């Protein structure tokens, strides 16, 4: 292969194709037209001597050569970004930067919202692209495809986060929540109440919630009547019902008046909420990234 045939733009397209495994989605990621992306794929196939993406039923899948290129291509582009493209310093008052931040909707309310308020006047040209947690979050963080990921520490312990740095940013606890006119309003939340009244459960996509694991471990039975994949929706579903739910206390206190709910002190043990921010270690010395982390830790503190 002639190295002169492989320019930086082709590497960027290759990275998007390897991530998306779809020409249309890669074009959208790159803000390119689909024909231009298809043309770039044809050039890559010729230069690398490999089809890279092949049809498998209705979908495309990576060839073994393409699979082997994922990490090296990401490493090359990350090195270029960190050592050549990114300015050596960072002036929050004038510099333009865009950071991708992935977190739950709960973290968005209690942590990201005050972070946005904090940086609005300090860095007018800084932009945050916010995304939600998914099954792809941990692998993307490990490949340095996300600037910051905020998630429960217990989830990070089981995930592929080698090569990442971290800092604790959120400490909270779970409490019960009911409509302000509920028969339980003003009382502690006893284990028996969760069996007596209909339960509104948090049901994250692809897994069991941490508090439900704790309830199962304690032998507490719930009568699940409804579920939600979003923490933010839980309090707003309670008004006018006999539903009981469990939510993080800081979230509950912030939105209790708007949702017309009352928080209940649980009479059973639940693991505390402990969330940390994670980022790839190669960003440790990035001045702009370091500044953003300092603002996040300031809000967390």
pLDDT digits 0-9 by tens, 240-268: 999 999 999 999 999 999 999 999 999 99
DSSP string, 4-37: GG--HHHHHHHHHHHHHSSHHHHHHHHT--HHHH
Q: Indicate if 267 and 278 belong to the same structural domain.
A: no
Residue 274, sorted as left (phi over 0), alpha (psi -120 to 50) or beta, turns out to be beta
- Model confidence, pTM: 0.76
CATH number at residue 121: 3.40.190.10
Residues 142 and 291 in one domain: yes
What are 16's two structure tokens? 């998007």
Which domain, by its residues, includes 246? 174-271
* pLDDT value of position 102: 94
The pLDDT of residue 89 is above 80? no
Kindly report the CATH number assigned to the domain that includes residue 60: 1.10.10.10
* Residue 109 falls inside a structural domain: yes
Number of structural domains (the chain) is: 3
Residue 171 CA to chain centroid, in angstroms? 17
Q: Are residues 186 and 158 in the same domain?
A: no
For range 155-184, the mean pLDDT:
88
Mean pLDDT across 156-165: 73
> Does residue 1 have a pLDDT over 60?
no
Q: What is the pLDDT of residue 79?
A: 75
Confidence of residue 212 (pLDDT cuts 50, 70, 90): confident
**If we measure between CA atoms, which residue out of 158, 139, 49 comes closest to residue 149?**
139
């Amino acid at each position: 292969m002639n190295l002169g045939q492989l320019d930086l733009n082709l590497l960027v397209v290759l990275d998007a194709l390897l991530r998306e495994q779809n020409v249309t989605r890669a074009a959208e990621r790159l803000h390119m037209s689909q024909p231009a992306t298809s043309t770039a794929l044809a050039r890559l196939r010729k230069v690398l001597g490999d089809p890279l993406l092949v049809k498998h039923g209705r979908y495309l899948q990576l060839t073994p050569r393409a699979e082997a290129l994922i990490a090296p291509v990401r490493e090359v582009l990350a090195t270029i970004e960190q050592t050549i493209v990114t300015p050596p310093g960072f002036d929050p008052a004038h510099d333009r930067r865009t950071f991708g931040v992935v977190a739950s909707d709960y973290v968005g309310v209690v942590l990201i919202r005050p972070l946005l308020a904090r940086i609005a006047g300090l860095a007018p040209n800084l932009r945050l692209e916010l995304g939600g947690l998914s099954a792809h979050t941990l692998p993307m963080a490990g490949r340095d495809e996300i600037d910051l990921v905020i998630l429960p520490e217990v989830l990070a312990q089981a995930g592929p986060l080698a090569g990442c740095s971290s800092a604790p940013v959120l400490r909270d606890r779970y409490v019960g929540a009911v409509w302000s006119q509920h028969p339980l309003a003003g009382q502690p939340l006893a284990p028996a109440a969760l069996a007596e009244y209909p339960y509104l459960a948090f049901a994250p996509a692809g897994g069991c919630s941490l508090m439900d694991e704790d309830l199962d471990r304690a032998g507490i039975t719930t009568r699940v009547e409804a579920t939600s994949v979003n923490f933010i929706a839980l309090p707003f579903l309670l008004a006018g019902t006999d539903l009981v739910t469990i939510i993080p206390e800081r979230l509950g206190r912030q939105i209790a008046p708007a949702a017309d709910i009352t928080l209940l002190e649980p009479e059973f043990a639940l693991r505390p909420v402990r969330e940390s921010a994670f980022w790839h270690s190669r960003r440790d010395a990035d001045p702009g990234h370091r500044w953003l982390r300092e603002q996040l830790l300031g809000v967390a503190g």
